[in-house]
Amino acid sequence: MWQRRIRRLLVCVLVLAIVGTAAFAIVKPFRVAVQTLALVPELLNAGPQPLSALSPEPTRVSTTYGGSRPDRIDIYVPGGTRTGTRHPALVLVLGVNRVPLDDPRVVRFASSVARLGLVVAAPESTAMKSGRIGREEPSRLVEAFELVANRPEVDQTRVGIAGFSVGGSIALIAAADARIADRVAYVNAFGAYASASRLLVDIATHTVLAGGESRPWEPGEMTKRVFLTLLVGLVAQAPTAEELSRRLAPFILDPKSTPAPYDAAFAARLPPDALAVYRLATARDRGAAEAAIAALPVSTRQLLAAISPTTFADELRAPVFLMHDEADDAIPFAHLEPLAAAVPPPHLRRTTSFRLFDHVEPGTGIGVTELPEIWKLFWHLQDVLNQGL
């Protein structure tokens, strides 16, 4: 009797294994759900990581993109790729930071996604690494996208873009570019700002606009450094820019310092562009900061519009996914709502808020209490991967 029961049990296990294998191979939602479950611990760098253990190491290739001003781009090709095989691809946009492409966090993220069967490309921007965000950045990302799409191992119809922080904003702008707008498979922006002008007001006044009201917000150290770099870069004359930097740096960069005071005698010596920047840096409320931005030269305001996703959102054609952490001290969570509102409704697929990340990086000490947030991450990533795989 017990032998028949064991045989029946083994038959049931065999049938379930066959059905599960068939479902994984044939039913895309089932396959993507399993792949997402395997990806989440890799991205959080927590718990068992079966994806690394059971899949081959991707091949990493470094090359350049960018025509007359080349920058490095690393390509991760799924391990075991045969000649003639074409994979979906993902272009990563890392944002404004000093993290090199060889940083273990970058390598881990790109490798993990590549293990799912995507070609992953990580382009570097020398300008953004130094804290500068120019109007040329979206166009350079378009060049990186086209380089990746034209690689022999890439399926040109399935190339997506994922951007982090400022890179998320640049990703959205590039995805709206007429050269590639109809070819971008999807774009996922994590921790992006909606408007560059609004972000400058947020940082200058240490406030955000939420629900129509001004609320306190404290920018982090990295954001303050980038803010100072951006302010100085808006001033045309180098000696004036340097003098302004020396005056403002102690107040902007020192977390224990009082806000920068407005010195009327110093202001009287400044040319109009530097005066507007100085007024912005010393603004005590959002109204004063917005007035300072309105006083910037037309060319400067055009630059701010050119690096704002809300300027180009109507031109997006790809499915859009947005993520933001509620405690973000680099780019305020308050930017998620206006950004989502600017994306045409047919193209906005999912908007997810979290209490799990330190800006765009996993928080420390992830445990059982974070399971609801991890579950939200799973559903968001599953939607993105259903689009991308």
User: What long-range pairs does 56-64 form, CB within 8 A, spacing at least 24?
Assistant: 56/80, 56/115, 57/111, 58/110, 58/111, 58/114, 58/115, 58/120, 60/107, 60/111, 62/101
Q: Is the pLDDT of residue 16 over 50?
A: no
Residue 254's pLDDT is what?
Answer: 82
pLDDT per position as a tens digit, 183-215: 999 999 999 999 999 999 999 999 999 888 999
Could you write out the DSSP letters of every residue in 182-239?
TTEEEEEEES--S-HHHHHHHHHHTEEEETTEEEE----HHHHHHHHHHHHHT-SSHH
From CA 211, how far away is CA 337, in angstroms rounded?
10
Grade residue 29 by pLDDT with cuts at 50, 70 and 90.
confident
**pLDDT exceeds 70 at position 336:** yes
Average pLDDT, the chain: 89
CA distance 360 to 354: 10
Q: Using 50, 70 and 90 to split pLDDT, how confident is the model at 10?
A: very low
pLDDT higher than threshold 70 for residue 18: no
pLDDT band at 256 (very low <50, low <70, confident <90, very high): confident
pLDDT band at residue 257, thresholds of 50, 70 and 90? low
pLDDT at 49: 87
Spell out the domains of the chain, with CATH numbers in brackets. 33-195+308-388 (3.40.50.1820), 196-305 (no CATH)
CA-closest candidate to residue 91, choices 335, 303, 318: 318
Find the mean pLDDT for residues 148-158: 96
State yes or no: pLDDT of 333 exceeds 60: yes
Residue 4 has pLDDT above 70, yes or no: no
The confidence score (pLDDT) of residue 27 equals 62
What pLDDT was estimated at residue 132? 83
Percent of all residues in the chain with a pLDDT value above 90, rounded to a whole number: 72
Looking at 34-43, 116-125, 186-195, which range is the least confident one?
Answer: 34-43
| pLDDT tens digits for range 50-80 | 888 889 999 999 999 988 789 999 999 998 8
Considering only residues 363 and 159, tell me which one the structure prediction assigns the higher pLDDT.
159
pLDDT of residue 196: 96
pTM: 0.90
